[in-house]
Structure 1
Amino acid sequence: MARIARGVALAGLALALASCGGRQPLKPVAGQKLPAVPVGAATAPTAAQLTAPSIQARPERNVELLTQSKVRGEDEFDLPPESEPR
């Protein structure tokens, strides 16, 4: 019985934590100004535009898989470390 009660309590806690996320559009705090209009832009960006990641922040994945092993070629810059003068 105690095991079932613990499971029900844990499920209730998980449900309560999962339901506490807000899905409302972002609004500025009362008394705070919106960000300045960028130079060259006609209008100020919206909250959705400001929070959306750019292409540079989330690049597309490169799915180039190595299908065969290749012997590494000579590297003319792979030099041993210089010895320190005494």
Structure 2
Amino acid sequence: MRKAAILLIALAIAACGQRTDLEPKAGQSLPPAPYGAETPPDAEELLKLEALAAPERSVELRRRSEERADDPFDLPPE
């Protein structure tokens, strides 16, 4: 009985997700088109991350410790 109730609650929570396209709130509009663009970007284009916003991870692992190079900008406080 208890497992069935937990399963029912889990299914109800999982069903709450919205699967429709994103739209601006009522009375709001999307941002204007950028300079030089003919049409304003849609919601999907606005959600895409630029390469600098989400860079790919470097998977190069260090196998042993390495000596750091001298940093000319690592100065003591004055």
TM class, shorter-chain normalised? 0.7 to 0.9
Counterparts of residues 15-54 of structure 1 (less than 5 Å): 15-54=11-50
Task: Return the TM-score normalized by structure 1.
Answer: 0.69
Match of 1:7 among 3, 7, 10: 3
CA contact (8 A) 2:22 2:43 kept: yes
Shift of 1:33: 2.5
Please list the CA deviations of residues 27-54 of structure 1 after superposition, one character each: whole Å capped at 9, or x if unmatched: 2233223211111222100110011222
Tell me which amino acid in the other structure corresponds to 2:61: L
The reply to whether residue 67 of structure 1 matches residue 63 of structure 2 is yes
Tell me which amino acid in the other structure corresponds to 2:3: G
Shift of 1:71: 4.3
- Percent identity at matched positions? 45
Q: Distance in 2 between matches of 1:75 and 1:54?
A: 30
Kindly report the root-mean-square deviation, in angstroms, between the aligned alpha carbons of the 2 structures: 2.4
Task: Return the TM-score normalized by structure 2.
Answer: 0.75
How many residues in Structure 1 have an aligned counterpart in Structure 2? 77
Tell me which amino acid in the other structure corresponds to 1:42: E
Larger radius of gyration: 1
Q: Distance in 2 between matches of 1:22 and 1:43?
A: 27
Shift of 1:72: 4.8
- Closer, same or farther in 2 for the Cα pair 1:75/1:30, shift >3 Å? closer
